[in-house]
Structure 1
Amino acid sequence: MLLFYNFFIFLYGLLLSIAARFKIKAHRIVEGRKNTFPYLETVLKENKSPIVWFHCASLGEFEQGRPVIEAFRKAFPDYKILLTFFSSSGYEVRKNYDKADYICYLPADTPTYAKKFVELVQPEMAYFVKYEFWYHFIKELKLNHIPAISISAIFRKEQHFFKWYGSFARKTLRNFTYIFVQDLQSKALLNTIGLEEIQVSGDTRFDQVHDICSHPQHFPLIKAFKDDKKLLIVGSSWPEDIEALIPLINNHDKNLRFIIAPHEINENGLQKLEQKINKGSIRYSRAAKETISNYQVLIIDNIGMLSSLYQYGEFAYIGGGFGTGVHNILEAATFGLPVFFGNKNYKKFREANELIALKAAFSVADSHEFLSKFYQLFQDKEQWQQASQIAAEYIQKNRGATKKIMNYSIAFLNKAKTA
């Protein structure tokens, strides 16, 4: 299996290099990886401080790791923080993140790169967020007696770790020093394959979204747009999501306004979105406070605002449910917004299932079902208030993962210092 894994890593790298000729995301990953070692050799040349390493696949995993990164920064101000990404979408958005000292792409998971990386960085501790299981990097950390911690991990019985053919995948898990999982089911599954260094901590995203809710950014332009109307905020939308929403957007009366934040922002996509809307719409970058209330649809054409925009809304629709997977619904729920999303791909997300069971979230198959469920909530104030309260309370009840992870980390590092 090791030969197969190494061949897969080689083949993936080859295909990525070919794709880089045509796809900007692939090009960024390939070029970013080329620069990793020269970058680290330069920035670490004069470094005398201990380093802690955090690895996130992309932007979503970064948001899960972020509470721990920032808590670590407060607890250990003398440490330098290295943050690595696999994807360009994570790196490009967070390459200037001010709570990390060094930010770069993670090289391919080969024995040579893993050995070189660990020898160069020499981290005191490494954190891998959620689904990050890099065999050679984690093995190299173990060989060098460096603790490797998996955080916000979640496991399902369908995964290859728990199949008869999953012995190689289980080796990767056994190389972790400690694993923090989101739920009891994940812990029970890991116990069945002989893993004991596990703690049910929950999902760090609950701490992250609660912090955003407690200290949101404020946008006078958004407040002026909302005026005294109810507001549906569409977060991280894809074209399939817009198809489900357009009948409502184009036919609703003036008592409801819409903010749409596309998942991918590019001129072609923005123009196609604008062409579908037959009511007054305007992009955020072109709006003026004096006239923005004349429009019914506001299109967010930047990155970074969405998580704080939910404070202005009464309802949220989160994209991705008709595609690869529904995006972050917790950012809306923490502000007490009932949440809608597509029904094709949400069941692997624990929070989506739990909020549906609590009647604070609603999956929809198409525009017809969305209109039916939306109007039921829109017209029934008591039902809306109940769903809003449940959503906010759900976030409160699930906080605390960051504290559990940091308690372990502090105890471990303090023990290492006195050893």
Structure 2
Amino acid sequence: MTSILARALRPFFRGRYRVVDDLTTRPRPDDSPHVHAPGVDPDRVLVFGNGPAVGWGVRCHDLAIPGHLARSLSALTGRGVDVDAFADADMTVATAADHLPDRELCGYDVVVVVLGMSDALRLLPPEKWRRGMSRLLDAVDRATGPSTGVIVTGIQPPSTVPRFGAAPGGVVDRHARLLNETTRALCAERPAVRVMPAPEMPGGSDDRSGDTARYQAWGAALAEVAAPIVDIGVADGQGARASRHAPQSVDRRVEAIRSLGLLDTPAEKRFDDIVERARTLLGAQGAAFSLITEGRHWNKAVSGSSLTEMPVVDSFCAHTIRSGRPLVVPDAWRDDRFVSHPSVRFYAGHPIETDDGVRIGALCVVDAEPRGVEGVDLVLLRELALAVQRELRVSALDAS
């Protein structure tokens, strides 16, 4: 009886909700879809999908699911967190696999799939939902590594979104439950996939403060599921973390640097200011933002030194970018790798990456006196490195 009723009502609901993802008067994030929580050795998460993943009602990703997830997960793990968002309002379960980023996703510890509100509102038949979700999970499996966790979130009752005007417990809510049951049955056959019920939504009006509270509930619920997954990754030191920190192709790095159009360009205040802050805040005699090509170490920005270039063989930063972790050299005079640096004893550098995870160089500070590893705030160094990366996105947009 339920399926017969759904078929009879489907044309009505499809017509009523056909513009559900075309909310042109509704604000949505228009900033870069990358957020982070401070800390070292960050976990990495991709939020993928539509509906709540789009961030309707707020102007930045920091106030949407990615920002709340990053902060909640960091509070649980005590580590830094990087969250990337890849959401499209026009995505449906039938097209989701085609929307996956066109690159390997093996560097993510967790991929979160938030999908289905528009399909539920349109009363998509369960068999079509199962086919689309199965195709998407197959595509995610091919793009990720064996240790990447996958979280598929349930569809929240459409009636909890005031704008839709759906009756609580009505046909649309019941159909969302049916699709959720289909998802659970499908994912029961996939041990690596965890299904998270949609969080209970805070009550209230459909205003901005209500939207923020709802995203906070999403972030907290996702963090509870994601925390054990990323902790396992830290414990075994393999999988996504190993992939992120593995050596990278020189050709890939050179191509990424070339596409940014920064090499051999004049000094720019935006980078100079960050480097000067690094030198001052970290109490060092020198600081630099360096690009590492096949045979060159070239400083795009320098503070406290006039040296702009050196051979890669003499470069601290060339060692830094061999992994995604910061490198600290307490005393270069006692380190056989750096005996060619008579004027530098202390070095601390953090890799600089493109949005695709290509390590192109480093932000570093140096000193003529040795320091212990505890002598540098690595959380602050990472924050400053991320500031450089934000400016690189501007360069990438200008070059495109």
- For the pair shown, the structure with the greater C-alpha radius of gyration is 2
Answer yes or no: same fold by TM over 0.5: no
TM-score (norm 1): 0.28
TM-score (norm 2): 0.29
